[in-house]
Amino acid sequence: MQEASKSEAKLIGLAMLAGLIVGLILYFTGTGEYVEYVKPIGTIFVRLLKMVIIPLVFSSIFMAMFHLGTPEALGSMGRKAVAYYFITTVCAVFLGIVFVNLINPGVGADLGAAGIHGLNSTMQQKVTSTQGLWSTVIGVLVDAIPTNPFASMADGTVLQVIVFAIMFGIVALYLPKESEAVIKFMKSLEAMTLRLTHVIMKFAPIGIFVLMLDVMAKTGFDAVISLSKYMATVILGLACHFVILLLIAAWRLKKSPAFILKSLSSPLLTAFSTSSSAATLPITMTTVEENLGVRKDTAKFVLPLGATINMDGTALYESVAAIFIAQAYGIHLGIDKQIIVFMTASLAAIGAAAIPGAGLITMSIVLGAVGLPIEGIGLILAVDRILDMFRTTVNVFGDCVGTIVVDSLLEENDFQEDEPEGEVVTP
Ligand code: ASP
């Protein structure tokens, strides 16, 4: 692990702690509104990170395709990555369902749910339509295909940009001569955006300090107390999943869990304070390569894709939240409905954008599929910002571990040299 990134991570950690303490002081002294004066600093930091996402994702995925050398090698990496995403997402949702059924945080919870929405036997018997599930799957797939890649870039629709970059990269493999100029351009674009990320990271401590300050100074502690059992269930599930991922990473890398945590502290703390996997992506990409020695091309492919579709933390949270809402309304979800929750929570996590609060929005997919009222989201709204910090950290960690696992499963000859046989990128 490099000295510079070690001290950077330490500074970020200290900044987060300071933001937490000062934010709590402001909250308890009733002076939280003063945060507004410094809030733009946090907003600027997040905007700077977002600024590099599209050029970084586009150029990195394209260059990773090019280095993979053949569509077969891409297929091999793609299959391994998707298998990892699938297994870990399923494991996360399963853990969520187990914990929420063991703890039953919503049973007897006095949140005014039944009173407000008057849940009754009609709601209880509402038939679950599997057609909704199928159309959700198709919807996610269709939405991934861009109709205008430039518009996708302008809108920041990362998944569509990834699909275009993969297809464009494959074409470059077949047309090395004709794509020479584009490859050169992408190489420069990638190097420049990576450098820009390093520059932006210099502002991370101050940005993260302000982001933490803002959340802490404004959080309503009354809400935290009344929803504490629900929060504890989500956080316990997330912690359990995090430990499983950590052990997998330690096993594949043959390093201690402490080393892995230390190496990944910058992206994990950034994920926690920004609540955005997308905004954290530039930091995740540079850290995984520099601190854990993962091959560049694996990181360039697995991380952007993972940040967009692999959200273990969100999947776990969606399952807990949906069952909690049912419990709070006094509705019993049988095993059949819990299976629907299981499937839709996984899909909702894939469909969630890597931005703050996205998981809360896609909750409507899960609630709708089991016939629960969308208004149920209102019950958990007050503490969602805090839970978002925890689930985003697990999302980002899941992507990092995915990169480690996929990289460890690939052979050296799955990659090709930078300038293969001299036919491309001639000066
Ligand atoms: N904020 C999460 C992320 O960026 C998504 C979510 O809201 O669950 O990963």
- Give me the number of domains the chain comprises: 1
Give a yes or no: residue 394 inside a domain.
yes
Q: Tell me the average pLDDT across 165-169.
A: 90
Distance from the CA of 387 to the center of ligand 1, in angstroms? 10
At 41-69, the pLDDT tens digits run 999 999 998 899 899 989 988 988 877 77
Give a yes or no: residue 425 inside a domain.
no
Closest residue (by CA) to atom 6 of ligand 1? 359
Distance, in Å, from the CA atom of 335 to the CA atom of 77, rounded to the nearest integer, reads 36
Task: Supply 422's token pair.
Answer: 């001299």
Give a yes or no: residue 416 inside a domain.
no
Task: Supply 269's token pair.
Answer: 């703390």
Closest residue (by CA) to atom 2 of ligand 1? 392
> Which atom of ligand 1 sits closest to the CA of residue 355?
4
Closest residue (by CA) to atom 8 of ligand 1? 359
Beta carbon of 46 within 6 Å of any ligand 1 atom: no
- Does residue 108 register a pLDDT over 90? no
Report the CATH number at residue 280.
Answer: 1.10.3860
Distance from the CA of 360 to the center of ligand 1, in angstroms? 9
Helix (H) or strand (E) holding 36: helix 35-68
Closest residue (by CA) to atom 1 of ligand 1? 356
pLDDT top residue among 177 and 5: 177
Give a yes or no: residue 60 inside a domain.
yes
Give a yes or no: residue 427 inside a domain.
no
- Integer-rounded Cα Rg, in Å, for the chain is 22
Task: Supply 259's token pair.
Answer: 């080393």
Give the confidence band of 250 by pLDDT, cuts at 50, 70, 90: very high
- If one residue of 314, 360, 363 were mutated to test the ligand 1 pocket, choosing by the most ligand atoms within 8 A of its CB, it would be 314
Beta carbon of 355 within 6 Å of any ligand 1 atom: yes
* Whole-number pLDDT of residue 426: 34
Give a yes or no: residue 389 inside a domain.
yes
Q: Domain range for residue 221?
A: 2-411
Beta carbon of 296 within 6 Å of any ligand 1 atom: no
Amino acid (1-letter code) at residue 382: A
Task: Supply 297's token pair.
Answer: 């091309």
Give a yes or no: residue 419 inside a domain.
no
At 345-363, the pLDDT tens digits run 998 898 888 899 999 988 8
Give a yes or no: residue 266 inside a domain.
yes
Beta carbon of 367 within 6 Å of any ligand 1 atom: no
CA 20 to chain centre: 22
State the chain's mean pLDDT as an integer.
86
- Does residue 412 register a pLDDT over 70? no
